[in-house]
Amino acid sequence: VQLQASGGGLVQAGDSLRLSCAASGGAFRNYAAGWFRQAPGKEREFVSAISRSGSRISYADSVKGRFTISKDNAKNTLYLQMNSLNPGDTAVYSCAATYRSYTTTAAVARAEHYDTWGQGTQVTVSS
């Protein structure tokens, strides 16, 4: 499966954005997926993950309560709804997918768990 992320942009603190990740070349229902982000000069960090069916979800503590991940298998699309954005959320956001099952929260938070990555989309939050 190939992934194409979109929806990034420049927003002000407190605003919302919805990122999308369109999958092609495979049935997205067979894949678990996640979002990661990388800010300038920092390591890539886990944001959120979702199981194949969407029944299991996890979030990084830094985004819990503000971000919502979802997966529309009929549209082959992964989403990340981001609310109450702050400058600390500024980063390049990338989506990822894996044929592996959603096993543990710790496992799905590791980049090595994923087989396929989309290109990133820039999110910039001004204060």
Distances (CA, A) of 87 to 14, 67, 122: 9, 15, 13
**Once rounded to an integer, what is the mean pLDDT over residues 41-57?**
96
69 has a pLDDT exceeding 90? yes
Alpha carbon distance 125, 120 (integer Å): 16
Task: Tell me the pLDDT tens digit for each residue of 4-47.
Answer: 999 999 999 999 999 999 999 988 899 999 999 999 999 999 99
**What is the pLDDT at residue 103?**
87
Count Cβ atoms below 10 Å from residue 88 Cβ, excluding itself.
12
**What is the pLDDT at residue 101?**
87
